Amino acid sequence: MPKLLSDAQVSAFRRDGFLFPIRVMPSDDAEMLRTELEAAERAQGGAFKGSLRHKPHLIFTWLDQTIRHPAILDAVEDILGPNLLVWASSFFIKEAHDPSYVSWHQDSTYWGLSEPDVVTAWVALSESSIESGAMRVIPGTHKEQVAHSDTFAENNLLTRGQEIAVEVDEDQAVDVVLHPGEMSLHHVRLFHGSPPNQSDDRRIGFAIRYIPTYVRQVNGPKDYAMLVRGVDEYGHFQLESPPKADLHPDAVALHKQVADDQAKILYAGTDRSGYR
């Protein structure tokens, strides 16, 4: 019996490759997370860039708490089962009237994970509307992997500016409109992207990548993940430790090691070695 989702919702996810909206926290809690983020940005001298965008839950306690949020984990468990790792997380932030966008892509393209049993929980910390550049998805496109090409386009928020190298039928696209405190779930192979933010406010989403413990990394000698529910009987990943405090020296050192090693996986086959 599902913990948070209904049987119909689980079936819809398996059919379509996505599910939304799912209320996982009150809007006030989402606003508190936004406040924490913007305080951290001010302390860092501006918006998160480079490796700081990658797995920030390793260095901020409020994000470590978010990846372990019971409602989020219950929904993900309904899809992936009881033993869960967080493989990655990142902010997708578009400033007001910003040209930044996300090209049509599949998450699975460069991640090197052995199975397509990967779910992203995309948590809205601000309004994610059509005007602000909400994510768009193509239902049912999660059944197989397709070819991609790298662009490294300046305003593309993806690591390699990768885009699907086949025609995408945008007439079939669904706009994933979310209010603060709601989330969407999407499959690692789902076609998705998002246009620029044309609104007067920032569009802020926190994406958490969950995997079952049987998944392993096949594109590198080692990889890292955080156990957030259940047990890990496989040991495919070096398990990360949660931060003792925001920007604790041990956490910062671990984050640098993990970010550097995972960059080698994400940028394999290119002349790039670090996050944009």
Sorting pLDDT into bands at 50, 70 and 90, what band is 105?
A: confident
User: Domain containing 235 — which CATH number?
Assistant: 2.60.120.620
- pLDDT score recorded for residue 271: 67
Between strands 192-194 and 182-187, the pairing is unpaired
Residue 275 lies in a domain: no
Q: Could you give the C-alpha distances from 78 to 113, 119, 212, 248, 273, in angstroms and in order? A: 21, 11, 12, 34, 36
Tokens of 71: 């409602």
- pLDDT score recorded for residue 165: 67
| Number of domains forming the structure of the chain | 1
Q: Which residues contact 99 (CB under 8 A, 6 or more apart)?
A: 155, 196
Strand partners, 224: 238
Where are the alpha helices (H) located in the chain, listed in sequence order? 7-16, 27-44, 61-67, 70-80, 249-266
- Residue range 207-220, pLDDT digits in tens: 999 999 999 999 98
* pTM for the full predicted model: 0.94
Q: Which residues contact 176 (CB under 8 A, 6 or more apart)?
A: 18, 20, 122, 128, 134, 135, 136, 137, 184
Q: Which residues contact 87 (CB under 8 A, 6 or more apart)?
A: 111, 113, 118, 209, 210, 211, 215, 223, 225, 237
Residue 30 lies in a domain: yes
Q: Which residues contact 82 (CB under 8 A, 6 or more apart)?
A: 229, 230
Residue 219 lies in a domain: yes
Closest CA to 148 of 119, 191, 194, 92: 191
Domain that holds residue 50: 7-267
- Residue range 156-209, pLDDT digits in tens: 777 666 777 667 889 999 999 999 999 999 999 999 999 999 999 999 999 999
Residue 2 lies in a domain: no
Residue 212 lies in a domain: yes
pLDDT exceeds cutoff 90 at 149: no
CA distance linking residue 101 with residue 163, whole number of Å = 12
Q: Is 122 helix (H, G, I), strand (E, B) or coil?
A: strand
Q: Rounded to 10 degrees, what is the CA torsion of 59, 243, 217, 150?
A: -10
Q: What is the DSSP letter of 90?
A: E
Q: Which residues contact 257 (CB under 8 A, 6 or more apart)?
A: none
- pLDDT score recorded for residue 2: 77
pLDDT exceeds cutoff 70 at 276: no
Residue 272 lies in a domain: no
Between strands 224-229 and 238-239, the pairing is parallel
**Mean per-residue pLDDT of the chain:** 93
Largest CA distance in the chain: 49
Residue 274 lies in a domain: no
Residue 1 lies in a domain: no
CA distance linking residue 198 with residue 96, whole number of Å = 6
Closest CA to 160 of 23, 267, 263, 30: 267
pLDDT exceeds cutoff 90 at 24: yes
- Residue range 34-87, pLDDT digits in tens: 999 999 999 999 999 889 999 999 999 999 999 999 999 999 999 999 999 999
